[in-house]
Structure 1
Amino acid sequence: MPYDFTLDDVEFLRSPDGVTALDDAAALDLSTSTIIADIARLRSRYAPWDAALVDTVRCRRRAVGKIRDAQRWLFTDTALQQATATAVADNRADRIARRWPGASVHDVTCSIGGELAALARHPDLDAVSGSDLDPVRVAMARHNLDVSDLTAALTVADALDPGTAGGSAAVGAARADVVIADPGRRSGSGRVFRIDHLTPPLPDLFEAYRGRPMVVKCAPGIDYDALRESHGFTGEAQIVSLDAGVREACLWTGTDDDIERRATVLRSTDDGVVGYEVTDTEPDDVDPGDPATWIIDPDGAVVRAGLVRQYAYRHGLRQLDPQIAYLTGDAIPPGERGFRILQQVGVSEKSLRRLMAEHDCGTLEILVRGLDVDPDALRRRLRLRGGRSLALVLTRIGRRGVGFLCEAGVRG
């Protein structure tokens, strides 16, 4: 079970003695085979702080690559799981600054400060502040901003009572130009997907800050149609991916445009984070077509946002089937990955096994849409023996299951 941090833990971990203890803990393996001995060593020197030290080091290790300055930040296990990746938070802060330059921004569920750090770094935002109902997370956020040389006013307050969020904060939720929220998506029984079961409930959040621009982070699987139909949401649903993994949905109000759905695709490079966006205001006049040279599997954010046709129109692609997200064309869009068709094949395992042997296939990437196929189980049953790396795209066109044996490629 994850450790339940206290304010005393945070105070110790922030102290010079705590920093020394964390350095000692970080030098330990803390693996399954060493954990008992490692905990005993820490307990002999740093009791009663040993459990806090172990969980902090483990969280920091998991946060590397997700959170900037992770090796100096404090986390709880749950807070880290829900924390926004720095690249995504920076992109959101930049969009807020472009839409509302000079705005004051308040995060009413600031947790350990991931969003606040991105907002505080942005030169075109004014006062940045945050609040959370959990005093331990607020204390951690204060530490995390301090070690990152950032400034934001912080206080303990209920997200649904903006009047309590001012306190000593320079700008409270009651006065901020823009309000950010990230409702909790976990309960005692696991993940929560219903909008009225979030903490705080999504409809209550929108009601509490009605009339002001809001930016609310949610799980990608949220039912946006129900939110619009049952709760009158009229803003934008943005789906964000980072490095080919869908990270989150974000609901925007007060943007003053006609966009209802947006896909934001972010990619990490040696020169920083790059990306592109697709919206539902773009043309989507795309017809199904016969397989061409390449099959393109659009990024998950494009698929989740329901913008496959807009993406296809932008790049001159066609759908293999109007109900399936696979696209086809004679060229791969810039920066994207595609699959060059070698042969159209059937989907029976016997014929696929023979085909893999004929093509000397030893490593096979399997992509499936529209068919009930477990890629890992199928790969094992194909008994690959060769030395060639290939890809197999399995889908349906109309009611017919089809396969495409391919070579993967990337367009720079």
Structure 2
Amino acid sequence: MGYGFSAADIAYLASPPGAAALAEVAELELSAASQLADVAAMRRAHRDHAPALVETVRLRRRAAAKLSGAQHWLFTDDALQQATPTLVARHRARRLAGRDVHDVTCSIGADLAELARVCPRVVGSDLDPIRLAMAQFNLTQPKPTTNTVLVRADALVPCSTGTAIVADPARRAGGRRTHDPAALQPPLPDLLAAYAGRDLAVKCAPGLDFDRLGWAGEVEVVSLDGAVREACLWSPGLTEPGITRRSTVLTSAGEAITLTDTDPDEIPEQPPGEWIVDPDGAVVRAGLVRHYAARHGLWQLDPRIAYLTGDRLPAGVRGFRILDRLEFREKSLRAELRRLDCGALEILVRGVDVDPDVLRRRLKPTGSLPYTLVITRIGRTATAFLCRASR
């Protein structure tokens, strides 16, 4: 759960003496080996402020890879876990550029900071006074925003007019992550009802069953550097006519590749090509595998499986060159891997009930050459492709 910050903690951390103390703590190692000595030294130097100082520095270090400017921000542990990565928040903000926006679950301000860059007027609200105080401070770093107002308010009680609504319901219930829309905080059905008829963007877990939700607008699934980060529900007024599914693939290098269900999805049915391609998770979860294949001249190994194949790799995509196609039988696989001097073995599985780690131990590769084993189902048959990864 992390340290429980108080209003007095926030006031101190945001003050010049607090900033000086944070700079002092930032010089400490704060590792498992040095923790006792470091904390004891901080208690002697800063007494009751020591826990808040140490926790803030730890959280800033954790946030460095996720949030721009994290070295200056204040967080709680839970708020940092749920905070939108800066590049994802920036992507969403671009879609709202030029609009007046109200983030009704603003927390510590990760989305607000990006909205304030491109929106003329921004309102942030939250019920948690500690997170709200942190957001107030964070929006001054490195310099204050001039177009943002923060208020304490319940997300389910509309308190703005003429704004597009942004919401990020908490996805933990009883300390565990939940995929139940009614178990979110605030509950997703209640949130949608509270802003019926308003332009609305709601950040959700990508594991939600969006078909059962019956959402009338667009569902966008976003990944960053190969990891699926979130889904966002966009109301009809915030998307283009006809689009109900979108995948957006972001990279730290600044690339953004988008597919929608209005893109072509006609692909051939033919035997495996030279390569196997495992599409980005955002493409798979958005249900746009065929659209991705059509864009890149690929086709499916099996119409029910998300693995694609073709004779050329899409630019910048990691793929697996097929060396051999084998029956999925452990004994014959083990013998073939031994014959090929297989050492490091990457195992990818889709459509077959196989645990890659367990199978790797059973195959016992002890050689010197790296291979990839792609195990999938083609028709009714479990099939193994022995491959060499492109990188």
TM-score (norm 1): 0.91
* Equivalences for residues 207-226 of structure 1 within 5 A: 207-226=193-212
CA distance in 1, matches of 2:344, 2:256: 30
CA distance in 1, matches of 2:227, 2:358: 22
Indicate yes or no: 2:149 matched with 1:153.
yes
- The AA in structure 2 aligned to 1:264 is T
User: Which residue among 120, 132, 136 is the counterpart of 1:138?
Assistant: 132
CA distance in 2, matches of 1:377, 1:199: 38
* Equivalences for residues 343-362 of structure 1 within 5 A: 343-362=324-343
CA distance in 1, matches of 2:189, 2:311: 46
CA contact (8 A) 1:121 1:150 kept: no
User: Which residue among 116, 122, 138 is the counterpart of 2:112?
Assistant: 116
- The AA in structure 2 aligned to 1:315 is H
Deviation at 1:287, TM superposition (A): 4.1
User: Which residue among 260, 264, 288 is the counterpart of 1:283?
Assistant: 264
* Equivalences for residues 35-46 of structure 1 within 5 A: 35-46=35-46
- The AA in structure 2 aligned to 1:78 is D
Ranges in structure 1 where 5+ consecutive residues have no aligned partner: 164-173
CA distance in 2, matches of 1:405, 1:55: 48
TM-score (norm 2): 0.96
* Equivalences for residues 293-332 of structure 1 within 5 A: 293-332=274-313
Deviation at 1:383, TM superposition (A): 2.2
Secondary structure in 1 matching 2:249: strand
Aligned to 1:191: 177
* Equivalences for residues 234-313 of structure 1 within 5 A: 234-253=216-235, 254=237, 255-269=239-253, 273-313=254-294
- The AA in structure 2 aligned to 1:112 is I
CA distance in 2, matches of 1:213, 1:56: 36
- The AA in structure 1 aligned to 2:60 is R
CA contact (8 A) 1:279 1:307 kept: yes
Deviation at 1:256, TM superposition (A): 4.7
Aligned to 2:74: 74
Secondary structure in 1 matching 2:113: helix
- Identity over aligned residues, as a percent? 56
4+ residue runs over 6 A deviation: none
CA distance in 2, matches of 1:51, 1:190: 26
Aligned to 1:170: none
Aligned to 1:92: 92
CA distance in 2, matches of 1:19, 1:191: 34
Secondary structure in 1 matching 2:18: helix
Aligned to 2:21: 21
CA contact (8 A) 1:5 1:76 kept: yes
Indicate yes or no: 2:372 matched with 1:391.
yes
Secondary structure in 1 matching 2:370: strand
Indicate yes or no: 2:157 matched with 1:175.
no
CA contact (8 A) 1:337 1:409 kept: yes
CA distance in 2, matches of 1:27, 1:143: 22
Count of matched residue pairs: 387
- The AA in structure 2 aligned to 1:324 is I
Secondary structure in 2 matching 1:162: coil
CA contact (8 A) 1:120 1:150 kept: no
CA distance in 2, matches of 1:20, 1:362: 52
Q: Which string of whole-angstrom CA distances, capped at 9 and with x for unpartnered residues, describes residues 25-79 of structure 1? A: 2222222232222221111111212221222111111111210011111111110
- The AA in structure 1 aligned to 2:233 is L
Deviation at 1:281, TM superposition (A): 1.3
CA distance in 2, matches of 1:142, 1:110: 10
Secondary structure in 2 matching 1:345: strand
Secondary structure in 1 matching 2:135: helix
CA distance in 2, matches of 1:150, 1:208: 31
Deviation at 1:285, TM superposition (A): 2.2
Tell me the C-alpha RMSD between the 2 structures.
Answer: 1.4
CA distance in 2, matches of 1:150, 1:366: 50
CA distance in 2, matches of 1:115, 1:176: 19
CA distance in 2, matches of 1:196, 1:115: 23
* Equivalences for residues 27-66 of structure 1 within 5 A: 27-66=27-66
Deviation at 1:378, TM superposition (A): 1.9
Secondary structure in 1 matching 2:5: coil
CA distance in 1, matches of 2:161, 2:143: 25
Secondary structure in 2 matching 1:282: coil
Secondary structure in 2 matching 1:25: helix
